[in-house]
Amino acid sequence: MNYLTILSALAGGAMIGLAAALLLFTHKHTAGISGIAAGMLPPWSEGSVWRGWFLAGLLASAPLYRLSGANIALDLDASPGLLAIAGLLVGYGTRLGGGCTSGHGVCGIARLSVRSIVATLTFMLTAGITVFIVRHLL
C-alpha cells in the first residue's frame, strides 16, 4: 500500500459512511444495497420510490465519474457462467442473512448490532475460504 492507496481508501470509506449517515438521518433508511435492490422487485409499493432514486444515484456514479476523464478499473476474472452462480448465491444469501457488506458490514456494525457483527465475520470468513480454495488449492 502506498500513500495514495491509503488516502483513497480512507476518503472513499468516509464518503460511503457519510452517504449512509445522510440517508439514515434525513430519511431514516438503512443504506443496505441488497435490501434496497431487492425492494425493487415487483410488485412495487411506496417504498420502491426512495429505493429507486437512491439506486439511480448509485448507477449514475460510474458514468459521472468517467465524465471527469478518469477510468474505472473493472477486472472480472471469472467466466460469465461462474459469475451467474456467484450472483445467485449473493442474491439468495444476502436476503436469507438480511444484509450484505453495506447493510451488515457498515450500517449494522456502526450501531453495534450483534447480528451484523456475526454476519460480517461469517461472510468475510467464507469469502476468504472460497478465495483460498479457488486460488491456492484448485
Residue 44 or 86: the one with the smaller Cβ distance to other proteins is: 86
Burial status of residue 107 (CB atoms within 10 A of its CB: 0-12, 13-18, 19 or more): buried
Cβ proximity to other proteins: between 14 and 44 the closer is 14
Nearest-approach distance from CB 125 to other proteins, in angstroms? 7
Which 8-state DSSP code applies to residue 76? -
- Measured in degrees and rounded to the nearest 5, phi and psi for residue 13 equal -60, -45
The residue within the footprint of other proteins, chosen from 60, 67, 69, 138 (CB under 8 A), is: 60
**Which position among 46, 67, 76, 138 is part of the footprint of other proteins (CB under 8 A)?**
76
Single out the residue of 3, 5, 46, 69 in contact with other proteins (rule: CB under 8 A). 5
C-beta of residue 100 within 8 angstroms of C-beta of residue 33: yes
Kindly report whether the peptide bond that precedes residue 43 is cis, defined as omega within 30 degrees of 0.
yes
Candidate residues 3, 46, 72, 138; the one interacting with other proteins per rule CB under 8 A: 72
Does 48 help bind other proteins (rule: CB under 8 A)?
Answer: no
Query: Which residue from 46, 67, 75, 138 is in contact with other proteins, where contact means CB under 8 A?
Result: 75
CA distance 138 to 127: 15
